[in-house]
Amino acid sequence: MQEKYLPSEIEHTAQARWTASQTYRARDDSDRPKYYCLSMFPYPSGRLHMGHVRNYTIGDVLARYHAMRGYNVMQPMGWDAFGLPAENAAIANNVPPAAWTYANIDHMRTQLQALGFAIDWSRELATCKPDYYRWEQWLFTRLFEKGVIYKKMATVNWDPIDQTVLANEQVIEGRGWRSGALVEKRDIPMYFFRITQYADELLSGLDNLPGWPERVKTMQANWIGKSVGVRLAFKIPPAPPLSKGGESLLWVFTTRADTLMGVTFVAVAAEHPLATRAAENNPELAAFIAECKQGSVAEADMATMEKKGMDTGLKVSHPLTGESIPVWVGNYVLMSYGEGAVMAVPAHDERDFGFAQKYGLPIKQVIGVEGETFSLDAWQEWYADKARGHCVNSGKYDGLGYEAAVDAIAADLAAKGLGEKKTQFRLRDWGISRQRYWGCPIPIVHCEACGDVPVPAGQLPVVLPEDVVPDGSGNPLNKRADFVNCVCPKCGGAARRETDTMDTFVESSWYYARYACPDFDGGMLDARANKWLPVDQYIGGIEHAILHLLYARFFHKLMRDEGLVSSDEPFVNLLTQGMVIADTYYRESADGKKTWFNPADVETRDDVAVLKADGQPVVAGGTEKMAKSKNNGVDPQALIDQYGADTARLFTMFAAPPEQSLEWSDAGVEGAHRFLKRLWKLAFEHVQGGTVAAFAGGELPDAAKTLRRQLHQTIHKVSDDIERRKQFNTAIAAVMELMNALAKLEGMDATTRSVRQEVLEAAVAMLAPIVPHIGEALYAELKPDAAMAWPAVDEAALVQDEIELMLQVNGKLRGQIRVASAATREAVEAAALAGEVAQKYLEGKPPKKVVVVPGRLVNIVV
C-alpha cells in the first residue's frame, strides 16, 4: 500500500475501472428493487459551477448509498441545451449557438466524469437534438388537436430600437439591456398550454406527496391560488357596443363581493376596449394610456411601481343600486389577468385606499368591526378583515358576516343575470411561444386557406437549422427562406412555417421520463418508462420550487392522459438544495451599465474591495446566488486540480446541510483534504501491521468496548442521516469523531487490532458514497477482493450498564448523576435528591416537583 494519499492517481484508477466494467449501467431487466435517482440536468453554460457540484454530489451520495443497499440504481445525466445564453454568446462571439452548446457539453461532461459520479452515461440526452425534441413536437400536435394547446394574444416586452422581444431578465430598470431604450408592452399571438384545466388536480395532488418539502408544497399551492369569488358585471349605458360580444357589460372578478356596496370606481387596464374608446376624443387620456404601455410586464415591477390612474369620463351603473360609477384607467390593472378590469372598494382594499386618497375619490365604509372606528386618514389592518367584519351602510345586507354577505349578494346578482359565484385560480395558462431562434420549433404551418395546421407525425421533426448566428435583432429564422417556406400539409398549397420556438421549460418538463428509453425511436416513451417511473428521488435547486416542478407535474399528467405513463406524479421524493451563494462586485460606467467581477479576481485591501488586476476599488453588490449574470461563480475545477474530486465532494457535503444556502468561502477545503489524508494514514498504519479479520465476538477491554459502541452508534446515525434525514454534514462529522476516537485507541494485541479492522472497514464503507475513489482504494487494501457493503448495526454493542443524567435545579444545569441504565424513575429521583447538589439547593425543604426525563435529565423544582 502507498504510504502517501495521491488523489489524482487513485481517482484515475477508479474511474478507469468503472468505465471499463460499466459499473453504473442501470439494468432494465434486473429483478432487484429499482431506485431512480435524478438530479436536475444542467444548462450547458460552459463550465461546471459549485451549484452543480453540490447538486450532483447529493444525488451521487444517495445513488451510491442505495446501490450499496442492494438497489438497481439508475442515475442518468443530460443537457438542458436550448436557451437564451447560447444566443447571447453567439452575438458576443459570432459563433452559432449550436456549436457553442456542443462544445460546452463536451467540456462539462469531462468535468462531471472527473468528479466520479455514478452516472449511466449510456442514457445521456441533449434537448437540442432532433431525436429528443421530435417527440416534444409530436406531443404538441396531439395536444393542439385536443384543444389543450390554443392560441391567444399575450403581452410581451418590446425593445423599439432592437426591434425584438425581450425576456424579463433583459429588461434592466425598464430599459432594454443592449439598446437602453424604454421598453414597451406589446400584444402578440402566442400558443398556450391550458394548464388551468389541471389546476384542481395540481393542487389536490400536493396532498399525495409526503416526500416533498412542506415549503415547496405551500409555494405551489399559493401559486395555483384557488379562490372562490364572484364574477359580476357593471352595465355600460346605451352607446355604441363596447365590450366583447357587444353585451354592453363590464365584467370584473372579486373575492370580496361582500364589499360590493362600497364600490366607488372601476379601474380598467390601459388596453381595455373601454379605455381605447374613451381615449379617441381625449388626447390627455391617450397620452396616459401610452405611458401605461411603457415598462416591463414582470409582476414584481407591476406590483412595486407607483400606482397611477386617470378618469376616462365614462360611467357604468352599479349592478345592484344602479348608481353611476366612474371608470378609471389604472396602470396596475393587467389586461391579461382575469377580465382586465377590477372594481375598487377604497374603504376595504389597501391598494384602492391609497389610490382613492391620491386622486380624491370617495371612500365609502361598508364593513365594520366591533370597537373599531373607521377613519379616512390612514389605512388600518382591520378594514380588510374578513373574519371579524360585518356589513354596514349596505341596506338589506347590514349585519351579515363575510360568507353570508357574499352568498346574499351573489344570489341577488344571479337573479338579475349580472353575476355568479366562480372559482378562480391565480394560476394562468402557460404561454410557450418564444420569438427566439435557439429553441424547439413549434410544429405549426400557417396556411392562408387552412389556418394553423399542426405538422403531421410523419413529417416530424421540424428540424432547427444549426448553422445560424443571431444578431440580436429579432428571430433569425424569419430570414431563413429554406425554413419558413413550406407546403401546407392539409391542402398542399404554399404556406409559411411558424418561426417561434418553445419555452425551454417544455424540454425540461419531460426529460426525466425519456431517460428510461432514450434510444426509442418509435415514440415518445416505451414500456420501460413505467418500469422506472416515478422518480424515487429528485434533487435540484430551491429556485425551481414553483415553475419547473409545477410544469413537470403538469406534463406528467398530460403524458398520463395520452396513455404514455401510468403514474399521477413524476417525483416521489424531492430534495431542494439551497443556493450556493457568493459575494458580488461591480463597477458602474457613466451610462449606468454594470460590469461584474468574479470574487476570485477581487481582494480586500485596508477594508476596501479592489480588483487585483488594477488595484482600483469595486462596489460590493451583496451576497447572491452564483450566476453568470453577476459573474460570482466559483470555478470548482481549481479545487479538483489541487485537491482531487473526493476533497471537492467532501467539502461541499460537509460545509452545510443540503437544504440550506451555502455561502462560499475558500477556507475549509483544506480541512476536508486533511481529513482524507488522516483517514489514509490511519488505514496505512493498520495495514502495515497486516490485515486481520474484523472483530467477531468475545470479551473486550473497556477502551475497545467503548470504541465498538461508538462505531455502532455511528453506523446507526450515518444510515439515518443519509437515508431519512438526507443531512450529510452531520454524517461526516460523526465519522470524523469516530476516526478521532480510533486514533486514540492503544494496543497492538490481536483483539484490539480486530476491533480496529472492524472500525476502519465500516468507516471507509460509510464514507464511500461521499468519497468513492478513496473509499474504493482503501477498502481494497483493508479487505482485498471483497465487495463493499453497507455496514450493519450490532445491537449488542450498543448496550451500556451505566448512564449519565443531567441534573437541573429550577431548569438550570447544576451537575450530573450516574445511574444504572435500567434504573426506574423512582430510583433516579431518589438518587438525584440524595446527591450533594440537591441538598445544597433544597436547604432541608422538600422539593416542589421533580421532573425525570428518562435517559436525559432530572429537574428538581424548589
Partner RNA sequence: GCCGGGAUGGCGGAAUCGGUAGACGCAGCGGAUUCAAAAUCCGCCGCUGGUAACAGUGUGGGGGUUCGAGUCCCCCUCCCGGCACCA
* Footprint (CB under 7 A) of RNA, residues 661-680: 661-663, 665, 667-668, 670-672, 674-675, 677-678
Work out which of 322, 615, 822, 849 binds RNA, going by CB under 7 A: 849
CB of 84 to RNA, least distance (A): 4
What is the C-alpha separation between 711 and 703, in angstroms, rounded?
12
Q: How far is the CB of 744 from RNA (least distance, A)?
A: 7
Rounded to whole angstroms, the Cα distance separating 349 from 385 reads 10
Query: Nearer to RNA by C-beta: 784 or 848?
Result: 848
Quick one: which of 505, 520, 586, 596 contacts RNA (CB under 7 A)?
Answer: 505
Q: Which residue, 273 or 431, has its beta carbon nearer to RNA? A: 431
Burial of 28 from C-beta contacts in 10 A (0-12 / 13-18 / 19+): middle
Stretch that binds RNA, among 17-25, 246-254, 340-348, 625-633 (CB under 7 A): 625-633
Q: Is 605 strand, coil or helix?
A: strand
- In the complex, what is the shortest distance from the CB of residue 20 to RNA, in angstroms, rounded to a whole number? 33
Give the binding range for RNA (CB under 7 A) out of 60-68, 203-211, 552-560, 721-729. Answer: 721-729
Instruction: Work out whether 721 is an interface residue with RNA (CB under 7 A).
Output: yes
- Nearest CA to 97 out of 84, 111, 113 is that of 84
Under the binding rule (CB under 7 A), the answer on residue 720 touching RNA is yes
| Cell of residue 196, nine digits | 388551468
Instruction: Decide: is 105 part of the binding site for RNA (CB under 7 A).
Output: no
627 contributes a contact to RNA by CB under 7 A: yes
Q: Which residues within the stretch 506-525 sit at the binding site for RNA (CB under 7 A)?
A: 508
Nearer CB in complex with RNA: 141/508 = 508
- Give the helix, strand, coil percentages of the chain, each rounded to 5: 40, 20, 35
Specify the DSSP element, H or E, that contains 448. none
For position 825 contacting RNA by CB under 7 A, the verdict is no
Per CB under 7 A, which region of 20-28, 104-112, 340-348, 738-746 contacts RNA? 738-746
Q: Scanning residues 138 to 197, which ones bind RNA (CB under 7 A)?
A: 156-157, 165-170, 188, 190
Only one of the segments 105-113, 515-523, 685-693, 803-811 lies at the binding site for RNA (rule: CB under 7 A); that segment is 803-811
Q: How far is the CB of 784 from RNA (least distance, A)?
A: 26
Number of residues that bind RNA (CB under 7 A): 104
- Subset of residues 231 to 290 that bind RNA, contact rule: CB under 7 A: none
The distance of closest approach from Cβ of residue 19 to RNA in the complex, given in angstroms and rounded to an integer, is 28
The DSSP 8-state label assigned to residue 42 in this structure reads P
Count the Cβ atoms, other than its own, within 10 Å of residue 208. 11
Decide if 489 contacts 453 (C-beta within 8 A).
yes
| From 115-123, 321-329, 449-457, 545-553, span contacting RNA (CB under 7 A) | 545-553
387-416 residues near RNA, rule: CB under 7 A: none
DSSP structure string for 158-222: EETTTTEEE-GGGEETTEETTT-PBPEEEEEEEEEE-GGGGHHHHHHGGGG-TBS-HHHHHHHHH
Residue type, 811: G
Query: In the range 298-327, which residues lie near RNA by CB under 7 A?
Result: 298-300, 303-304
Tell the residue number behind the cell numbers 490511519, with chain if given. 682
What would the 3-class secondary structure string for 250-281 be?
EEEEECCHHHHHHCCEEEECCCCHHHHHHHCC
Dist CA 721 CA 855 (whole Å)? 22
Query: Does 723 participate in binding RNA (rule CB under 7 A)?
Result: no
Question: By CB under 7 A, which span of 258-266, 501-509, 599-607, 633-641 interacts with RNA?
Answer: 501-509
In the complex with RNA, the residue whose CB is nearer, 236 or 736, is: 736
DSSP 8-state symbol, 99: H
Q: Is 514 exposed, middle or buried (0-12, 13-18, 19+ CB in 10 A)?
A: buried
Does 430 bind RNA (CB under 7 A)? Our answer is: yes
For RNA, give the closer residue by CB, 67 or 166: 166
Indicate whether 440 belongs to the interface with RNA (CB under 7 A).
Answer: no
Residue 585 as a binder of RNA (CB under 7 A): the answer is no
Instruction: Check binding of 833 to RNA (CB under 7 A).
Output: no
From first CA to last CA, the distance across the chain in angstroms is 63
**Distance between CA atoms of residues 342 and 345, nearest Å:** 10
CA distance 140 to 148: 9
Residue 82's identity, in one-letter code, is F
- Member of 1, 219, 609, 842 binding RNA (CB under 7 A): 219
Output 95 or 806, the one with its CB closest to RNA.
Answer: 806
C-alpha separations of 47 from 44, 245, 320, 630 in Å: 7, 55, 64, 15
Residue 270 or 564 with smaller CB distance to RNA: 270
| List 611, 806, 830, 842, residue binding RNA (CB under 7 A) | 806
Cis before 534 (ω within 30)? yes
Figure out which of the listed residues 342, 736, 766, 788 binds RNA, where binding follows CB under 7 A: 736
Segment lying near RNA (by CB under 7 A), choices 46-54, 82-90, 323-331, 560-568? 82-90
- Rounded Cα distance, 355 and 376, in Å: 13
Residues 30-49 that bind RNA (CB under 7 A): 43
